[in-house]
Amino acid sequence: MPDDKSIRVSAVQMVSGLSLEENLARAAALIERAAQTGARLVVLPEYFCFMGRRDTDKLALRESDEGGPIQQFLSATAKRHAIWLFGGSLPLQTDDAGRIYNTMLVHDPGGRRVQRYDKIHLFGFRKGNESYDEAATIRPGTGPAATVDTDAGRVGLSICYDLRFPELYRAMAPVNLIVVPSAFTYTTGSAHWEVLLRARAIENQCYVLAAAQGGLHENGRRTWGHSMLVDPWGDVMDCLPEGEGIVMGDIDFARLEEIRQSLPALKHRTM
């Protein structure tokens, strides 16, 4: 466990639009607000930097693994506020001109990139006039499950649709915190978002911090929002239903240990 008794964390909720510059400016303001209220670890939502009119629009913003404007923003912002910054997701290039990786980058308080996670599970949904097929423009990551050691202890990385695959999180265990930057649709979010987040917290006996897109976007898409922090008992500590803003809370290491000792489910695993 880390030396401190607790650490304050924050999830940023956005309603990202068509302009990269405006999205980065909004993200910067929200991160600053979180840092000013004591957050030492901040998570941005999936696609924080851009929500285009068409799925193919994000291809124009893809960056190489060596760097680019979005990566420079993440590094500089983490260093400016001396925080652990989990960069939601951004488009990184592949060797396929028609597809990108949907990637979360983690920067430490010195602005150094310390971890990369490429989204493994790609969302596909069809109901009535609503349909999504991420595989058309995104190449899935190949794993393994990604974690990073921080001032909050070990943190497990996942993105949006990953939330529906509990085996991914089992492969991370034990972790103190799971982060879930997302852009859940209004349809699927209203049905499943909270129950899935609480289940992942309960079964892995850890905190879950979910940063979401939340509102009606310029491209006409509506996302569910409800960014939240869930504790290891499954209690929702803070939640923002819709619109831009932040959720906050403290990861209490003593509570984490108390829950694991009183109900040692992780030690009882047989598979």
- Which residues are marked as active site? 46, 119, 160
Q: Which of 163, 175, 247 is nearest to 200 (CA)?
A: 163
Say how far apart CA 65 and CA 92 lie, in whole Å: 7
Q: Which of 147, 172, 177 is nearest to 8 (CA)?
A: 177
Structure tokens at 64: 């190489």
**Is the Cβ–Cβ distance between 12 and 246 less than 8 Å?**
yes
What is the secondary structure of 13-29 as a DSSP string? EB---S-HHHHHHHHHH
Q: Which of 159, 160, 155, 170 is nearest to 203 (CA)?
A: 170
**Is the Cβ–Cβ distance between 105 and 157 less than 8 Å?**
no
Say how far apart CA 76 and CA 69 lie, in whole Å: 10
